[in-house]
Structure 1
């Protein structure tokens, strides 16, 4: 059915110039002002495309032919790049990826936050932007009666079987393949999400980059794991570095990977890793950054922006297992961390103990409730650090920050759009955004981490 008033219709073949990239990595072309989004097309290219879908204000098209290629185009080294939905911009040179992320942050801050004339520094990238992920989460399926493990095809729940992933650490790839072979050996059936049958849903592999310790988490639909002892023995034999084999039980009809129940089948409850000189205990469900090299870069920048001299009280909202908190505790007089996940706070307290920090306290609860309570008890922070989930900070937390008036706020974000929204609130409430630093935590993907320094306008130099 044709849509009136549009310059293109479904199934049209068009020749277009690519002007920009979306935040999802698709090329943007304009036809009489009408935007077409075209995956795998790059700014500066002239291409031929087929229109797949049209809406009132924009449409989607498929790249058919590159008429004139961009100098920033490279051949994706991954053999399943065009099918897999894990990496969106492998076809873009790494230098161009870093520039794209800087521009993305700058554009969003201006468009959503109205924040201009603030330095957005060049994105801090990696020397080797491959094999950086210390955590693999791989779903299982079946094809022709055989067990397969891989990643989901773009915009689908069909699993693409794979032997390796070039952004995962090699040890993780080896571990995933070993688990797949061992599960096949004992006839373990993969979970079928449509029929809600089968046993094995995911394997999650975590590795301590500095320690080499390896944790294997088998996510199952039910509590039973047939041939459990043999499977554990075979995993230990196949993977000499393994220190922990864990089962997580997820009986729900859901796309969420983990269920509520976790039990250690063999070995330790934790593996350990270092960021800088600080040692962290990581359990099966702990949030721990997947790129340890860039995490050090990110946290060093957070410490720099916090500008701690030694007398300060610092609050770390959304503190997780205490990663940023402990970096801050190296210099601050006192650090208070809050996190809604009880297991994360348990890990945070253990991490403080194993590193000998006695100037850190952690609380379980919602940051927007706990921090106002601290304020009512007389806590007056000099610095507040926030590292919220993708949805950004809760309104009540932003109100509390504005009431507390710390001299500095350090905002760490994994979503530039909600960051911009929250910065606008903080700016209207009396803060000035001083500088913005994008950090490339996820090379080959469109995701970007951002760290921002804000200061009270009364204290701006």
Structure 2
């Protein structure tokens, strides 16, 4: 959401699905001898405490250990099976083997097994029930799994239908994981990602976590991304210092697949909007003529911008360049911006937001109207007998004002956005003006992180809701302590990383981190739900609604 960082990724992406993990510098995958006794990552019954960063590696480790624990439980009492599992040799580096996928990790990777063995293989682009041919490339003995490359499907799962795949780069580019799945199945998988996030990261007993609600889908499953950032590398062989040669031919332009440093040349990306896809084609044509000017690599920004024309359109009106999208009320002309500092414009229902094209804003405009409406429907607490009516909104990590502006009509005392980035506050104030909001109704403050809530100390916590939308790393301990000290009546926590969200929600429910002399405060969870901002991928956005517990 409109936070200080990019969105995106319990798998390969941050807000941008294509910022993927890099391999070691020598471009060779590290490998350990496969003919070793397999070591268990943990002893039976020992709980692994999360480091709490919600990284793909940490998330994957929990899923692997859960599967190991299930296998151990299934072998309980059978010394013969346990001994066989301990001594089964592992295949050599580069071996081609067939494995059966038994579960899906929250990273979007399949967890698979070789017939006759309980050793786990982590395989991309596969779903439970698939038998797939893979190439072994690394044994992570201390973590209990082997990483393998997907080669082909041997026997497809009943869940798989490859006719659904809409991209010729699928299973090569790492940006998408689920194109072979029916969309309803994708939403079920993403609900389970949220379930596992709270199980593994919240450190809360099950009775304090309500049943996770169904994930809300995106109105568009393809042609939804309003921003892409393909890139190209510099000419090979250039020294770090001294004169550099320019490209002698057009370099690959695209994205870097997981576990390799070679850019995959991408001519088209069907999850992008038509305007962004056209922008990619235009930039490729430009590079075909200008590649000889580049002695270094570069990232190309492709950001959709909208110009809205209300109906009726005058007969002599000359439409601007762009792809026209027509509704009953207006025509939107969509163009693609490549200048990081140029201003882009987006509409969410009748709200308008402008931002520098290179700054953060959500990348799926189609889901923002139902998403902001969901927040509007759940931001206010029930009016209980004797309780004060909620009048104020504090939008922490407000960015360019998405929630401060779209929710402002519900708060007669005013909505206030707080962010540590002064530039974001500058754009937020401009957006409030564009939407006809006066300062007493909607205002913004740039505040230092350690004193974020001092600027709103005039607000009565009993009359206040706080919306949180932090970057992927979640909230730090200082922020959570300030929030508990302020003790708003209700908290709506929005996150692009449900794992760090679960960690932070656990802190609020337990009321941890308060200083000596602080009033004891804790929260209870009213609801948790996922939103699918990135169809075809393993990413899910989370919304948790919490209420302050007032001890009697």
TM-score by length of 2: 0.68
SS of aligned partner of 1:123: strand
Structure 2 counterpart of 1:38: 123
1:388 aligns with 2:475: no
For the residues of structure 1 that align with 2:295 and 2:185, how far apart are their CA atoms?
40
Q: C-alpha offsets along residues 330-357 of structure 1, whole Å, 9 cap, x if unaligned?
A: 2112111112222211110001011111
> Does the CA contact (< 8 Å) of 1:317 and 1:367 recur in 2?
no
Out of 203, 206, 216, the position equivalent to 2:303 is 206
Q: Which structure has the larger Rg? A: 2
243 and 131 in structure 1: CA distance in 2 versus 1, 3 angstrom threshold? closer
- Where in structure 1 are there 5+ consecutive unaligned residues? 194-200, 213-235, 249-261, 263-268
Structure 2 counterpart of 1:156: 260
162 and 244 in structure 1: CA distance in 2 versus 1, 3 angstrom threshold? closer
1:131 CA displacement = 0.4
305 and 181 in structure 1: CA distance in 2 versus 1, 3 angstrom threshold? same
- Where in structure 2 are there 5+ consecutive unaligned residues? 1-32, 39-87, 236-246, 310-319, 325-332, 384-388, 512-521
> Does the CA contact (< 8 Å) of 1:119 and 1:434 recur in 2?
no
80 and 391 in structure 1: CA distance in 2 versus 1, 3 angstrom threshold? same
1:449 CA displacement = 0.5
Structure 2 counterpart of 1:196: none
> Does the CA contact (< 8 Å) of 2:337 and 2:344 recur in 1?
no
For the residues of structure 1 that align with 2:458 and 2:321, how far apart are their CA atoms?
54
Out of 528, 535, 538, the position equivalent to 1:436 is 528
Structure 2 counterpart of 1:271: 344
209 and 121 in structure 1: CA distance in 2 versus 1, 3 angstrom threshold? farther
For the residues of structure 2 that align with 1:244 and 1:27, how far apart are their CA atoms?
36
Out of 11, 14, 36, the position equivalent to 1:4 is 36
Structure 2 counterpart of 1:25: 108
Matches within 5 A, 1:86-97: 86-97=175-186
26 and 354 in structure 1: CA distance in 2 versus 1, 3 angstrom threshold? same
> Does the CA contact (< 8 Å) of 1:115 and 1:424 recur in 2?
no
For the residues of structure 2 that align with 1:237 and 1:442, how far apart are their CA atoms?
28
1:354 aligns with 2:434: yes
1:408 CA displacement = 0.8
322 and 29 in structure 1: CA distance in 2 versus 1, 3 angstrom threshold? same
> Does the CA contact (< 8 Å) of 2:474 and 2:500 recur in 1?
yes
1:100 aligns with 2:200: no
Structure 1 counterpart of 2:52: none
244 and 4 in structure 1: CA distance in 2 versus 1, 3 angstrom threshold? closer
**Greater fraction of residues in strand:** 1
43 and 242 in structure 1: CA distance in 2 versus 1, 3 angstrom threshold? closer
For the residues of structure 1 that align with 2:551 and 2:410, how far apart are their CA atoms?
21
For the residues of structure 1 that align with 2:551 and 2:344, how far apart are their CA atoms?
43
TM-score by length of 1: 0.80
183 and 64 in structure 1: CA distance in 2 versus 1, 3 angstrom threshold? closer
Out of 374, 380, 392, the position equivalent to 2:455 is 374
Out of 107, 132, 136, the position equivalent to 1:51 is 136
1:72 aligns with 2:159: yes
115 and 450 in structure 1: CA distance in 2 versus 1, 3 angstrom threshold? farther
The answer to which of 145-154 and 445-454 deviates more is: 145-154
Out of 402, 427, 430, the position equivalent to 1:323 is 402
Matches within 5 A, 1:249-288: 262=341, 269-288=342-361
1:123 CA displacement = 1.1
1:29 CA displacement = 2.2
CA RMSD of aligned residues (A): 2.9
81 and 401 in structure 1: CA distance in 2 versus 1, 3 angstrom threshold? same
For the residues of structure 1 that align with 2:376 and 2:482, how far apart are their CA atoms?
22
The answer to which of 332-341 and 155-164 deviates more is: 155-164
1:179 aligns with 2:179: no
Structure 1 counterpart of 2:379: 306
Structure 2 counterpart of 1:344: 424
Q: C-alpha offsets along residues 360-384 of structure 1, whole Å, 9 cap, x if unaligned?
A: 121123444322x225556636111
SS of aligned partner of 1:432: strand
> Does the CA contact (< 8 Å) of 1:10 and 1:53 recur in 2?
no
| Higher relative contact order, structure no. (Cα contacts within 8 Å, ≥ 6 residues apart) | 2
1:156 CA displacement = 2.9
The answer to which of 151-160 and 238-247 deviates more is: 238-247
For the residues of structure 2 that align with 1:130 and 1:459, how far apart are their CA atoms?
48
For the residues of structure 1 that align with 2:478 and 2:303, how far apart are their CA atoms?
35
Structure 2 counterpart of 1:222: none
> Does the CA contact (< 8 Å) of 1:19 and 1:44 recur in 2?
yes
